Every structure is written in structure tokens, then in C-alpha cells.
Structure 1
Amino acid sequence: MTSLFAKELRLSKRHEEIVSQRIKFLQQRKSKLGDQNKEKASQTQAAEAAFKRNLSLLKDIEAAEKSLQIRSHPLPPPEVVSLETLYWASVEEYIPKWEQFLLGRAPHPIGVENQDEAENTIRNKAQQ
């Protein structure tokens, strides 16, 4: 009976050791999981900060690019734009006449008698 009692006592101590080790391992695992969650949250914050920084840098680069484009190709004064528009309107108006002349199917579109009239038309459009 003593041997059974001693055996029971040894088994009980061994059981306590195993339970104690189990609790220690569970605590280590819980601690490690908590550390991993903290690391993941930290990495997520770092990624969000990097994304915001990159977005800000991209906007700055686009603004600088736009500024450089404006400096390198400034818009002409409104008078020049107006004259340019009138010029291209005149060109489009006379294309069919010149096309026939260049193909050899019609006489010169602005003859000596029509030249004054054409110049007056151009002057009138420029004054408008």
C-alpha cells in the first residue's frame, strides 16, 4: 500500500509539473501572440504613414510638373489667341478654293481684282 501511495504521490507531483509547464507555455504563447499583434499594428501604422507620405509627394511632384509646364509654355496674350483663331478660321474658309487651284482644276483663288476684297475681309475679321 505504501508503494501505491508513493506512486500516487509521484504521479501527483508529475501532474503538477506538467500543469505548471502547460500554464507557462500558454502564457508564453499568449505573450508571443500579443507581441505579434502589436508588431502587426505597428507595421500597419507605418504602411499607412508611408502611403500618406507618398500621396503627398506625388501631389507635390504633379504641382511642380504643372508649374514647370506653365513656365516653359506660357499662355500667349489674349490678343495673340484672337488673331490666331481668326487666322485659322480664314485658312479653313479658303482651303476648298486653294485645294482646287493646287489640283489644277480652278484659277488662282485670289485674283488681282479679288485681292483688295480679300484683304478687306481679313482686316474686318481682325478688327472684330
Structure 2
Amino acid sequence: MTSLFAQEFRLSKRHEEIVSQRLILLQQMKNKSGNKNTEKVSQLPAAETAFKRNLSLLKDIEAAEKSLQTRIHQHPLPEVLSLEARYWASVEDYIPKWKQFLLGRAPYPIGVENHDKTENNLQKKAAKQLTSSHAF
């Protein structure tokens, strides 16, 4: 009987320890919850300021974008238009040569004209040298 009484006493003591630990933990949770609420309240003005700043930045970015778009859509300079026209004329001149090359009907079109001109110039120089050396 005394062993049951001793066991009951130990269990009662253990129960009191658990209940006191529970009360301590509940108080700590309540304190943390209160701290979080005060932190949220203190962070609210900073969040509102950041939100206003972000809106202002967004408006500035949109204004800059509109400004850049108007610059892009302005009429180009006459020099640029002239260069563009000459470029497209050159492209149109080379289209038939490239078309034949791409279809496998002609050799590589770039450098062929220059090669022929260079070959002709070399032949002319050689002929001049021959005539000049025979003149003496």
C-alpha cells in the first residue's frame, strides 16, 4: 500500500511539473504573439512608404518608356534613309546570284566578281611589263 501511495505521490508531483511547464509555455506563446503584433504595427508605416515609393518608380519607368517610344518612332535622318535605300538596292542586286547558288546551280557568289577583276588587272599589268621590257 505504501508503494501505491508513493507512486501516486510521484505521479501527482510529475503532473504539477507538467502543468507548470504548460503555463510557462502558454505565457511565452502569448508574449511572442503580442510581440509579433507590435512588430506588424511598427512595420506598417514602412510598408506604406515602400508601396508609395514603388508606385512613384513605376510611374517614372512608364514615363521613360513613353519618351523612348516617341524617340524611336520619329522620322529618321535623310542620311539614314539614303543608306537604307542603297543597302536594299544592293541586296536586290545580289538576290539572283545568291538564288542560283542556293539552288546549287552556280558557284559561291561573293568574291567571284572581285576575283575576275583582279585576274584581268594582273593580265593587263603583265602585258604592260612585257611591252615595256621589249621596248628597250
TM-score bin (small chain): 0.3 to 0.5
Return the structure number with greater relative CO, CA threshold 8 A, min gap 6.
1
The TM-score with structure 1 as length reference comes to: 0.42
The TM-score with structure 2 as length reference comes to: 0.40
